[in-house]
Amino acid sequence: MANTLGQLRRLKPYLRRYKSKLMLGLLFITISNLCSTTIPYVVGKAVDTLKVSTFTQDQVFWLIAQIILLTVGSGLGLFGTRRTIIVMSRFIEEDLRNDFLAAIQVQSQQFYHDRSTGSLLAHFTNDIGAVREFIGPAIMYSANTITTFSFALGWMLSINALVSLAVFIPVPLIAWVTYSIGRRIHENYKIVQEQYEHVTTHAQETFSGVRVVRAYAQEQAEVDQFAQISKDYYRKNMGLARVNSLMMPGMIVLFNLSYIIVISVGGYQVISNHLTVGELTQFFIYLNQLLWPVAAIGWVTGMIQRGAASMGRLGVIMDSVATISNSASTDHSITSLKGKLSFENVSLRYAGTQAHAGTERTVLDNISLTVPTGTSLGILGGVGSGKSSLVNLIPRLYDVSSGRVCIDGHDVRNIPLEVLRSHIAIVPQESFLFSDTIAGNIKFGNPEATDEHMIRAAEIAQLNRDIADMPEGYQTRVGERGVTLSGGQKQRTSLARAVLCDPAILVLDDALSAVDTDTESRILSGLVQLMKDRTSIVISHRISTLKHCSQIVVLEDGRILEQGTHEELLALGGKYHSTFERQQLEAAVE
C-alpha cells in the first residue's frame, strides 16, 4: 500500500495544476449525493403518510414534486462531476504524454540502446491510459463512495442507530477482502504490462523488417512466434481477469448480508414500535444506493492498483537523468558558431547495455586533430574503427570519456545544446525519412525555408531529376521510413535536408554509399561552393570520395593510423595506399 501511494504521489503536481476543476467536481458530486440520499427520506415519509387515511392530494403531490426536484438535482450534479473530473483527467493525460515525450527526447543514445521501441510504445498506449483511468473514474467513484456513505449513514443514524450500526457489520470483512484482492491485482497487472512490452516490441520489429521477413520466407515463423508471445500475454491477462473477477462478486455477496441484518433487526424494531414501516423502507433504499458504491470499491481498487503500477513504470523513464544536457558550466552567451573543429586527446569508452551492466569497451583512444573553418576532413577506416563514434562526439550524441572536443575554441560541453546542434548537420548512412512528402522531409530541419531554397538543396543533392519524374513532384508521399524510394534516393533526400539547414559543420557519415560514383562526384562538386566558409567531414570507404578533402585520416581500432593529404598518404605507402590500389583494380575489373 505504501508503495502504491508513493507511486501515485507523482501525480500531485498535475492535480495541483487543475485544482479548480477537481474542487468543482468534488462540489458537484457532493451536491448530487446530498440530493440522492435525501430521496429515501422523502419516500419513507410518503409511505408513512399513505398509511394515514387523512392524507390530502396536495400532500402527495408535494412529496412527488420533492422527489422529482431531488432527482433532477442529483442528475445535474452528476453531469457537472463528469464535465469537470473526467475532463480534468483528459487534460492530465495530455500533459503526461507531453512530459513523457519531453523526457525521452533529451535522453542520450545509451538510453535507446537499453530500451526497445516497442517498450516505449507500450508506455504511451497502456500505461498513460491506466493512469488516466485512476485520475478520472477512480477519483470520481471514490468521492462518490465516500459522500454517499457519509450522507446515507447520517440519515440512517438519525432514523435508528441500532439498525444503522448493524448494517455495517460486514464492512471490516469487505475492507480485508478488498485489500487482499487489490494486492494480487497490482502484482498481476505488472506482469501483464511487462508481457505487453514483448508483444509491441515483436510487432514493431516485424512490421519494420517486413522486407527481410519476406526475403527469407520467414512469414510463418514470425506468425508462430507472435502467436506464442500473444498466447503468453493472453494467459497472463486471464490470470489478472480471474483475480479481478473475484472483487465485485465478493463485494456484492458480503454486502447482501446487510439485507438479512436489516430484515432481522429492522423487522424486530417495527414489531417493537421503535421503527415505522416508512423508516424501514428508507433503510432498504439506502442499501440499494450503497450497493453500487460498495461494488465499485473493487473496481476502483483495481484502477488504483493499475494506475500505481503504470505510474511507477512511467516514473522510471521520466526520472531518468539525461546524461547529456546543459549544465552549470554552459556558456549561454554563445549564440553562433563558425565551425573550427578540434579534437584534443579524445578517448571514448562505451558503457555496457543493461544486459551487460558494468562492462566497458574503448572505441576511441587518444585522438588529436584540427579541422580549420572552410576545410574538409576525410575519414577512412574499417568496420568498428571508430569513424561514426568520432563524429557523434561533435553534436554530443555521446560525451568524451577523456580529452576535449572544441568548436571555435569552446568545449562542446560548454556550448548550449540547442546552439550546438542547430549548427551541425549529420547525414547518416542509414537515412531516416518520415511518412510525409518529399518536401516535408527536406524541410524537416528548417520548416521556414522557402521553396526556392528547398529546390536548390535538392539540386545540390542531385535529387531534382528524380523528383521531376515523380507524379506529384515535391508533394509525393514517401511512405513509412521512405519505403517508396530507393536507397540512393533516401540518402540524397537526407542530404538535401542537411544542406537546407545551412550548417556550420556538415558531416557525411558514409552518406553516399548507395549512389553511383558519377552521381557522387556531382554531389561533392555541388557541396564545394556550399561549404567554402564552413567545415565538412566526409566518412567513406571509397577513396574517390575522400581524395579531394583538405586532410584525410585513417582510423584503426580507435586510433589514427595515418594522416595527411591524398598525395601524402599515397606516398606513405601504408594502408591508405593499399586500399587505393585495391579499389583501382576493382574499378578496372568492373
- Write b or e for each residue in 18-47: b if 16 or more Cβ atoms lie within 10 A of its Cβ, otherwise e: beebbebbbebbbbbbbbbbbbbbbbbbbb
* Residues 254 and 367 grouped into a single domain: no
Domain contains 323: no
Count CB neighbours of 283 within 10 A. Answer: 29
For 318-374, how does the pLDDT look when each residue is reduced to its tens digit (9 = 90+)? 887 777 888 888 888 899 898 899 999 999 987 654 544 456 788 899 999 999 998
Domain contains 305: yes
Specify burial of residue 438 (Cβ count, 10 A radius: 0-12, 13-18, 19+).
buried
CATH number at residue 255: 1.20.1560.10
Q: How many domains does the chain have?
A: 3
One-letter amino acid at 140 equals M
Cell of 74: 442529483
- Write b or e for each residue in 219-243: b if 16 or more Cβ atoms lie within 10 A of its Cβ, otherwise e: eeebeeeeeebeeebeebbeebeeb
Residue 132 has a pLDDT of 87
Helix residue spans in 160-276 (DSSP H): 161-167, 171-208, 210-215, 219-261, 267-271
pLDDT, mean over the chain: 84
Cβ 532 vs Cβ 374: under 8 Å:
yes
DSSP-derived 3-state class of residue 329: coil
Cβ 331 vs Cβ 414: under 8 Å:
yes
Residue 3 has a pLDDT of 61
Domain contains 507: yes
* Residues 497 and 458 grouped into a single domain: yes
Q: How far apart are CA 363 and CA 559, in angstroms?
A: 9
Cβ 567 vs Cβ 394: under 8 Å:
no
Count CB neighbours of 376 within 10 A. Answer: 22
CATH number at residue 343: 3.40.50.300
278 vs 3: which has the higher pLDDT: 278
Please enumerate, as own/partner, the contacts of 365-369 that have beta carbons within 8 Å and a separation of 24 or more: 365/557, 365/558, 365/559, 366/403, 366/559, 367/343, 367/403, 367/558, 367/559, 367/560, 368/343, 368/344, 368/403, 368/560, 369/342, 369/343, 369/551, 369/553, 369/560, 369/563
**3-state percent helix, strand, coil for the chain, nearest multiple of 5:** 65, 10, 25
Count CB neighbours of 480 within 10 A. Answer: 12
535-539 vs 505-509, strand pairing mode: parallel
What is the 3 state secondary structure string of 45-88? HHHHHHHCCCCCHHHHHHHHHHHHHHHHHHHHHHHHHHHHHHHH
Cell of 419: 546552439
For 467-484, how does the pLDDT look when each residue is reduced to its tens digit (9 = 90+)? 888 888 888 888 777 777
Cell of 270: 417495527
Report whether pLDDT(553) > 60. yes
Q: Supply the pTM of this predicted model.
A: 0.65
* Residues 568 and 470 grouped into a single domain: no
Share of the chain above pLDDT 70, in %: 94
Domain contains 73: yes
Cβ 69 vs Cβ 301: under 8 Å:
no
Short-list 262, 122, 259, 102, CA closest to 201: 122
For 572-581, how does the pLDDT look when each residue is reduced to its tens digit (9 = 90+)? 888 999 999 9
Q: Answer with the one of 289, 318, 347 that is the final residue of a domain.
A: 318
For 429-456, how does the pLDDT look when each residue is reduced to its tens digit (9 = 90+)? 777 888 888 888 888 888 888 888 888 8
Specify burial of residue 182 (Cβ count, 10 A radius: 0-12, 13-18, 19+).
buried
Residue 175 has a pLDDT of 67
* Residues 289 and 335 grouped into a single domain: no
> Which range of residues forms the domain containing residue 485?
431-501
Cβ 441 vs Cβ 497: under 8 Å:
yes
- State how far the alpha carbon of 102 is from the alpha carbons of 96, 98, 105, 319, 566, in Å: 10, 6, 5, 12, 45
* Residues 569 and 449 grouped into a single domain: no
Domain contains 18: yes
Specify burial of residue 570 (Cβ count, 10 A radius: 0-12, 13-18, 19+).
middle
Domain contains 324: no
* Residues 507 and 386 grouped into a single domain: yes
Residue 52 has a pLDDT of 66
Report whether pLDDT(2) > 60. no
